[in-house]
Amino acid sequence: MDVLWAPWRMAYIEYAKIERGEGCFICKAVESSELEENLVVYKGEKIIVMLNRYPYNTGHLLVAPTRHVADFSQLSDEELFSLAKAVSLSLELLKKALSPDGFNVGVNLGRVAGAGLESHLHVHVVPRWNGDTNFMPVIADAKVIPEALKDTRRKLLKHVDVFEGLR
């Protein structure tokens, strides 16, 4: 048997246990001043942008309204515009910081659609690179994320000025 040594993963596993408890991790990030701990890239009056703690790829962002709502129909026109604008700016941020070849952008509404957090609407912005899918998911049923989340966050923060003017 091959052993994959990844001691830094324990913090990730412990956090996952906490997240399965009561509350909404997006609301916790909105209410907290611990931006690095919550992997927040941008926090405004109406929008929060944060790294996904369980990413599909390096740079996988979650873009959400700061108000706890589950569906687009619950957003005001201003919140809806701010969410759409933040998704657009997140694409710009990722282009500047990580130079991906493309993106997946999407929303999972409801558990059956794949939502890990059903109660707080959020948009996934996932950068993609040519060749970012390799044999690991097929052979080992494992996805390799080649960079620590806090390192990715530091790269993104160098270009966070793209959000200037967004509320």
Q: Which of 60, 120, 122, 124 is catalytic?
A: 122
With contact defined as beta carbons under 8 Å apart, do 66 and 46 qualify? yes
DSSP 51-80: E-SS-SSTT-EEEEESS--SSGGGS-HHHH
Q: Token match 């912005």: residue?
A: 125
* Structure tokens given for 149: 């989340």
Distance of alpha carbon 85 from alpha carbon 91, whole angstroms: 10
Distance of alpha carbon 28 from alpha carbon 77, whole angstroms: 24
Residues 6+ apart with CB under 8 A from 142: 136
Distance of alpha carbon 163 from alpha carbon 88, whole angstroms: 10
Active site residue 122: yes
φ, ψ dihedrals at 54, nearest 5°? -125, 70
| Catalytic residue list | 122
